[in-house]
Structure 1
């Protein structure tokens, strides 16, 4: 058996293990769906009229109403929320000693982390699809064609991949699962200080500068443009560049943390 085949086989085995854990202990996965759905219900069902009026007053009127503006931001938030479960799962493996057992077995080391990444991407895709379904049930009506949906899906997958590697790294360096669950909260809240709920141009100058240049704003504006037809400008290129930087940094950090934890 070649090294590549051996690695793929080990990754598939580890992935089955992680998927079983996800099915047996679905609390974190359900939470990553439940949180964004609650935000969607809150901002659309309770605050939507007021926030929509404020959006129109600042010149940010959206043809799909406030839900047409906010839904892409909630979708990105759902992607970010999936990182918490990954960080906790990795930390649990590291602190309970199972990884030490794996190190003594003839399995490819990369398969241990790769399985976590693939498992996280699968669960995040499911949770993001659930959020999109709820948004559409609440009145979100994307005008995207097939090519636009494909491009949006590609960017969401790339962002999920990048954030998952960052979450894996956080899980590896966290001393306890509790610390691992708290550390990614900054990632989850970054869309709030972006254009997820209000245009960056309507924010105070210092906050606006941060909102315009942080990683999530170009991703949100790209998804919003692809799904609702608003201009995207240079945001797709910037969003992809951020994803590459985060994925590369997360992978290198994770590899260093995994090799150091012996």
Structure 2
């Protein structure tokens, strides 16, 4: 098992950038990646523009172990993700025979025409491998380290369930949370010194506001339980040493 595996996500769609559609996939992917020991390091949201998709795919697939894309693989003219990913890899985008047959049978079974628009959903870059879609049949695909999936949350989640068993995972992060009754302005300096003294950990500071008072949730993360406990104890000692200001 590798020590650290990394991933990035590309969310594709003008509707996301305009606010017309609210993304629900980023949080789900982050939860799943954290649970299986893959660090989601970056998320980009790009429009339905070929050059932007190509640039994002090429930048992120070179930087991270895995890239996941959502959106733009439907039947309409603005669903250009398959063509764009093919261009990023320098290969043709063409009908996948197995996916074509699967979709043809699906629409025939429903008594619907397998028209040109629906046939578009069987297209993928040459050399890609289909990702099963148990919700609405039309597949996603994987090429290299790039996994291309639907933007509809239920379909994305179902596709991701099929992808996860194929991924190489890393050592999972463990975490501890410390309640701090003070605002960040009080603890910021000494907390930074603790972080420097424990470089193998990640110490997060999350300000909260409730009933007219500020407080802070401190979260320590590490891959080693021993490193986690050492940093957690230092942070707890800092919190215990401070006095609540009277003004």
What TM-score results when the alignment is normalised by the length of structure 1?
0.20
User: Which structure would you say has the larger Rg?
Assistant: 2
- Kindly indicate whether structure 1 or structure 2 has the higher relative contact order, using CA contacts under 8 Å at least 6 residues apart: 1
What TM-score results when the alignment is normalised by the length of structure 2?
0.21
Q: Which has the higher helix share?
A: 1
